[in-house]
Structure 1
């Protein structure tokens, strides 16, 4: 008789935790805490190598838990809730561990929605049914229930401890066939699964030995005396749920992951991939492992440039997450995009080519070389272009040099304004631009950049309107992986495994940083060529992922079109009335001084209004105000929330609040806005950052036009300083109640749909529903309450928050919310369904398919999870509103350029578009812009845009 075949199944999740905690803090660059951690990687490799030596197998698989919930979370939401979040250093090693395990010849499985234990159970059962011997390598005792004559568990971390049928029986006092019953009684503190209180392993084993099974114990529960008997009887209702939680499934559908199952051919052991392993070990500084490989690997590897530490490069990022490790060098790369997996068909070849190719970088300092490169860019299908400049302020930046890349590994740098004694002779800047102008301004020649809007401004500073920008790698990343950094260095490291030269490497840091123009040309050329080269490489990695997904591709195309419009909006800018701002600053200054004197009088002494310590002494010691809350250090808090609460009953906190508000308004806007106007245009040219807000909203800065306070008269007056040129007016076109309309569309709630479809006052309609009166009987106070409820609930406001906003007790607020959901059941259903979808997928989507990541949606931390649940409800509305205003921007700008070039779009703030236009065009704008804005999408309720016109921004409302 032939020897049975063997299947080895490794509990990968158990292995990686054990490897991580067993190894010291090892790094790819020893002693450099900023370099990738490698302890778990090294431990995992050594454990698998030892296992393979000791247990040769015909089939083998390493099984990991996939991120996201499973059926057990739906059964019992507190499942695994007590587990601490995975350490960042361990999380960063998971992807490279998957990569190297494959290279070692193992199949790697991580099945979404299915725990590793259930995958192991299903594979072990399928193999055992065919007479295949199964060895499961794990330290998890829960797997003991799988043991039978064909299935054995070994624990390599405990001198090869074996759990066969005899071993399980000896260890736990019951055979494997009773291990499920045993686990139900004992529970599992690691997974937060309750058992019967006070029943430990000895009691559970004793009962099962005496009665024979859990069902028999339940049948005779009345005969079990003492506290444990009472606990058992009290737990009878829980035990069926406990059974579902602890029983390992052996019938999971793994057809998409193990083709041909129950046949095991897909899990056949592979030979180690020597070259790929050598490259991996080299990348992660694993010299000992690399040296142990066959010597052929070293001989066949092309030398590469030494990697330099990754650093933040130019680009926009609103995310603080650490970059994940480099992509896989074997098999198709998978990019996790908020719960979905996108395969990049050419990622393997790209990553290998990047690491091993030779680089052809030119420095262009003569006309012949420039002409040769002009011919290259004219012939290329797509050219990456980047600028080196004197400033991050795009409107004021001057060119220092230009870099181009026509294919991966081939790039050139044109130095134009480098200075210093060692700077070579350079081609004249303006003449070079004139040679480049025909290509730059020809839309038929496709161009690519990283943050293209900035480079467009730089060229426009020299009178060149670049056309033909087809792609922006920053925006590609923003659409695909909104929750990750989008700087070029981050993208190159994440998708190519490339660490490049950083700006600080060249220019230094802080006060010692030199201008780029003073960097030696040879070093500047290497850096600039690398930028253009990496941009082209990153595009080739990301574009296939977008092109393969229709909705995300459409969102990306919207972002590219929005970048085009925003360039024109920023370029035109908005005129500022500097004398008016000066007058406002003087008035605010006088009022601030008055408030100080009034505060001194109320306190009975002078004091520093900005000192929390002095405020605390006056509030709580001298004036005997109640302490509302304390800081983390135990001090009595005087933060804004405390001041607002105390201001309801005491005049001094109200004075402090007004003083702070006016001081901020003066310091942030009235003192500074005029100075931010461009000296050539007299206008402020705000920068709209696209790749910051995870919802898709634009972020405005330098100056921030979104945060001008408009709830106070003083704040609204600041908008009076945004004025029209002589003969022109300002017009504001604003979507009406856009997020409530989106809620009606998403929820399909009948009452909400009816209100919007029939043009009703939705707040009055809500008040009628909540207060049980007719629409005509609704008072202004009831409408105000309804407005707070309408907007509060879509932002996930609790009864506590509603009570605070309305100044009512929490019970009344809770009743209002309950009545709201009774009258709008569709809204409640939408909220419940959205939270469930978010928990299952890890993300939510806008109406148009933009993905909004929720990394904390399944967090064991209650407050974080609750915040993510609130975001899950609100993000689709905010994100859809962001999509709509971008669609409106693009649609309106297209018509303006074709029909009304005298009308200029000058600002985009929240759900509002602002224009400067000749007075003669007001009627056209009033009619056409609302029509265009309403027509960008067809929802279940009509979109409505309203227009106001005035000599300044404030009066246009």
Structure 2
């Protein structure tokens, strides 16, 4: 065996878990989990390409326990069971590794560590170099002049000096070190009260655990913190120390029926690997295999080359592009041919190309169509660059397409249908029969993924599409699509329609596997897209004069605060500059540094300044300045500039896929972020006005998430309070404090409100204490009493955490899913965050489903009313805003309330508060 490359021994069991938690939750085309497979194979492949070994072994733990479990039944007892999504990935990993020509070892009765330890010591005796790939610290005991550890997650290598640098003791003392301090991951007890530093200090003074116990009287002489009490700790826990030493010791004499000589790397089974990679969706690896560069030692035989050549010809998945038939429509005959195809088909995909992403003002540049996969057409109708071939007249094309696009019997498929619907509406075409939106299909399947066409084509179809930026970059500058040659645009635009069709054919069968998801798409998300498009097109009226006046006021206030800040700081500085704020607060005034940025600078984030503001005036004034500057820059200055010259209204864009929970978001402008509870926010809302002869009606769901919590938890106290239309916060204060509702003070109600809303967002006692400014112990009392009085809520929360851990997702009442891959993370912070999301998502997501359903019902009802009598103009959080003719306000207020309260059935009644005014602030 050659001495120039080490024998590589891989701790496969360590790799499994580390890859599972480190990699994203990948799946193949069949929805089977593949993240751990990708992670394990990728790490081993990288290791092999780096060292090019001739001998290697991947060692896994055998099923069942080891001899350590017989010695100590609690060994590794604190570890969770193997995650459900990891279990089905183990066998595929073994299969792929075998096809890679790598020996797999698994020995009953011992752990992978023991097999690796035995092989390492055998190699040492033969004067061979060994490289152990693992992330487990107990393996450090094996390190020697011949044995080195590598952690492939961070590419760190440990030789004898590296062990000393990391653990504070040499390799030969690692067992003693673990015997003293224990190992939480393996549930090795160690000596109670001895941690990392004390263990290091003791083993610097003594040779071993045995030496320590032989010289117990010498310990109190040591200059170790707590030295006087150490002797008694060691005496009291001697049995645990001896047990821990035994558990931490890696066996190096396991009886093996093979030697290092038999760990020879054999040839890859290239054809088997290509087949496996195709199945699991690792298409880049497929191509590398076929090109002969998956591994440095890869060799293709003549048979391999012949088989792979046939595979390349037959398999779409390894081609960069599939043969396509994309046609540019420039003649009447071509157009008529396609019109006939569309008229006679049951469904087709379409896409619009425009000169602008603002759907209200966008001009149509062309339309693409696809009836059959890999075949599509592009109709250019408004390209502007010189030398453009004759295009068919825009009016003629639209006139001929209009009957087809408006025919509800012919189903249409789009990617972001809301945009295409709105653009065509600019030209008097009201598209009907939009049955599918691939962006929404993907969103309903898994809201945590990316839903743009390029990402989806890559993920679902394994295609690299032409991106808009690639198409429109000319001489390093971005231009609009109407300035691009028709031939290039045809490939891009036709591909969009074709890929949209293919994506639908891929995604729809997946949706149909789950009746709840299918219903969520067909009953809520798809019809909502058109409702949103109509609402966006309607827009909302604002008074620019009010906003301009308020901008002037804000500017004056900001100048006054700047003067105060300069006085408080003792010098001039820019309150919008984080660097200058850092210098003033933390260098000049020496305020405590609460948090640092990734670069190590003191943080000036809002949460940091808010905490400092509780004690210091300067950060309090900086926060006030920032809040006014944000209002001015985001709203009072910007909103008047966003008024459309077409209808003199503002048109926001509602993002249907902007949140993972199903909530809508909005941008340009962001209506969701206008403050509602302070004077500044109300002043902005006053500028949202009703037209002459109309009033604003605001209809807002009251405490909707708490009502959903009552339904989900079926807690009898909550159900009773809502059924009797009681003040839920007053009831909670009464329950928690054991006093009559009539005696609850305003402050006690405020605290109960914080508890009610805080707990559904997973707030801790620490968070509650900060929010309502009470001691942490008192906050814990509130939480404990809350769960005593509402036991159903606590049961629901615990069961939800368990369910999320088991299945990896939670659901709303409508079946909307939120996947939570970090629910099984080994990182405690990530896991707690995922658990909080698991509890909150069913409530927040169900609230989203309810208001979306209400919007659809309201839209249907509005269409039945006289034209112009009522318009739905905004959706913000749990609120819908309408413009209503003055003479119909009383009648419609009652009807709006009734429709919204009756649109969704819970165990408790939904309640809608309705307000009326000349502006949004008056109405809300």
TM-score, normalised to structure 2, is 0.73
C-alpha contact 2:11 2:113 (8 A) present in aligned 1: no
Distance 1:812 1:472, change over 3 A: same
Among residues 510, 519, 524, which one is paired with 1:545 in the alignment? 510
Among residues 636, 654, 673, which one is paired with 2:639 in the alignment? 673
Q: CA offsets per residue over residues 839-889 of structure 1, 9 Å max, x none?
A: 222221112211112222222222222222221221111111111111111
Q: Matched residues in 1 for 2:838 and 2:881: separation?
A: 30
Q: CA offsets per residue over residues 44-80 of structure 1, 9 Å max, x none?
A: 6999xxxxx999xxxxx99999xxxxxxxx9979528
Q: CA offsets per residue over residues 457-508 of structure 1, 9 Å max, x none?
A: 1111111111111101111111112111111111111111111222232222
Among residues 702, 709, 725, which one is paired with 1:743 in the alignment? 709
1:892 Cα offset (Å):
1.3
Task: Show the counterpart of 1:446.
Answer: 411
Q: CA offsets per residue over residues 267-303 of structure 1, 9 Å max, x none?
A: xxx9956984798665346412694344443554576
Task: Show the counterpart of 1:406.
Answer: 371
1:731 Cα offset (Å):
0.7
C-alpha contact 1:104 1:271 (8 A) present in aligned 2: no
C-alpha contact 1:620 1:626 (8 A) present in aligned 2: yes
C-alpha contact 1:799 1:813 (8 A) present in aligned 2: yes
Among residues 763, 766, 773, which one is paired with 1:800 in the alignment? 766
Task: Show the counterpart of 1:387.
Answer: 352
Q: Specify the SS of the correspondent of 1:384.
A: strand
1:712 Cα offset (Å):
1.7
Q: Matched residues in 2 for 1:801 and 1:733: separation?
A: 31
Q: Which runs of 5+ in 2 are unaligned?
A: 1-9, 21-36, 49-53, 64-73, 117-122, 133-141, 143-174, 192-198, 210-230, 252-268, 293-297
Distance 1:488 1:773, change over 3 A: same
1:544 Cα offset (Å):
0.4
Among residues 524, 527, 531, which one is paired with 1:561 in the alignment? 527
Among residues 828, 845, 855, which one is paired with 1:879 in the alignment? 845
Q: Matched residues in 1 for 2:908 and 2:430: separation?
A: 40
Q: CA offsets per residue over residues 74-121 of structure 1, 9 Å max, x none?
A: 99795289x9x9xxxxx99x9999599579989xxxxxxxxxxxxxxx
Q: Matched residues in 2 for 1:575 and 1:924: separation?
A: 23
C-alpha contact 2:61 2:112 (8 A) present in aligned 1: no
Q: Specify the SS of the correspondent of 1:724.
A: coil
Q: Specify the SS of the correspondent of 1:766.
A: helix
Task: Show the counterpart of 1:287.
Answer: 291
Q: Specify the SS of the correspondent of 1:530.
A: helix
Q: Matched residues in 1 for 2:729 and 2:896: separation?
A: 26
1:940 and 2:907 correspond: yes
Task: Show the counterpart of 1:142.
Answer: 111
Task: Show the counterpart of 2:607.
Answer: 641
1:487 and 2:487 correspond: no
C-alpha contact 1:16 1:44 (8 A) present in aligned 2: no
Distance 1:54 1:40, change over 3 A: closer
* 1:307-326 correspondence runs (5 A): none
C-alpha contact 1:104 1:273 (8 A) present in aligned 2: no
1:841 and 2:788 correspond: no
* 1:264-343 correspondence runs (5 A): 276=275, 283-284=287-288, 286-288=290-292, 291-292=300-301, 293-297=303-307, 300=310
Distance 1:298 1:907, change over 3 A: same
Q: CA offsets per residue over residues 767-816 of structure 1, 9 Å max, x none?
A: 11122210111111111111111111111111111111111111111111
TM-score, normalised to structure 1, is 0.71
Q: CA offsets per residue over residues 210-241 of structure 1, 9 Å max, x none?
A: xxxxxxxxxxxxxxx999996474599999xx
Task: Show the counterpart of 1:812.
Answer: 778
Distance 1:795 1:76, change over 3 A: farther
Aligned residues: 767
Among residues 753, 756, 769, which one is paired with 2:735 in the alignment? 769
Task: Show the counterpart of 2:188.
Answer: 195
Q: Specify the SS of the correspondent of 2:352.
A: strand
C-alpha contact 1:734 1:911 (8 A) present in aligned 2: yes
Q: Matched residues in 1 for 2:653 and 2:808: separation?
A: 31
1:468 and 2:437 correspond: no
Q: Matched residues in 2 for 1:710 and 1:679: separation?
A: 28
Q: CA offsets per residue over residues 144-177 of structure 1, 9 Å max, x none?
A: 9999xxxxxx9xx99999xxxxxxxxx9xxxxxx
C-alpha contact 1:695 1:852 (8 A) present in aligned 2: yes
C-alpha contact 1:80 1:192 (8 A) present in aligned 2: no
Task: Show the counterpart of 2:874.
Answer: 907
Q: Matched residues in 2 for 1:64 and 1:516: separation?
A: 60
Q: Matched residues in 2 for 1:805 and 1:476: separation?
A: 40
Among residues 870, 885, 901, which one is paired with 2:836 in the alignment? 870
Among residues 742, 754, 772, which one is paired with 2:720 in the alignment? 754
Q: Specify the SS of the correspondent of 2:923.
A: coil
Q: Which runs of 5+ in 1 are unaligned?
A: 1-9, 21-35, 48-52, 56-60, 66-73, 86-90, 107-133, 148-153, 162-170, 172-181, 205-224, 247-269, 305-328, 330-350
Q: CA offsets per residue over residues 581-608 of structure 1, 9 Å max, x none?
A: 1111111112222222233344454433
Among residues 399, 402, 405, which one is paired with 1:434 in the alignment? 399
1:713 and 2:679 correspond: yes
Q: Matched residues in 2 for 1:496 and 1:62: separation?
A: 34
C-alpha contact 1:274 1:294 (8 A) present in aligned 2: no
C-alpha contact 2:41 2:97 (8 A) present in aligned 1: no
Q: Matched residues in 2 for 1:926 and 1:949: separation?
A: 8
C-alpha contact 1:949 1:956 (8 A) present in aligned 2: yes
Q: Matched residues in 1 for 2:788 and 2:271: separation?
A: 62
Task: Show the counterpart of 1:950.
Answer: 917
Q: Matched residues in 2 for 1:529 and 1:540: separation?
A: 17
Among residues 846, 849, 855, which one is paired with 1:889 in the alignment? 855
Task: Show the counterpart of 1:917.
Answer: 884
Task: Show the counterpart of 1:119.
Answer: none
1:619 Cα offset (Å):
4.8
C-alpha contact 1:187 1:194 (8 A) present in aligned 2: no
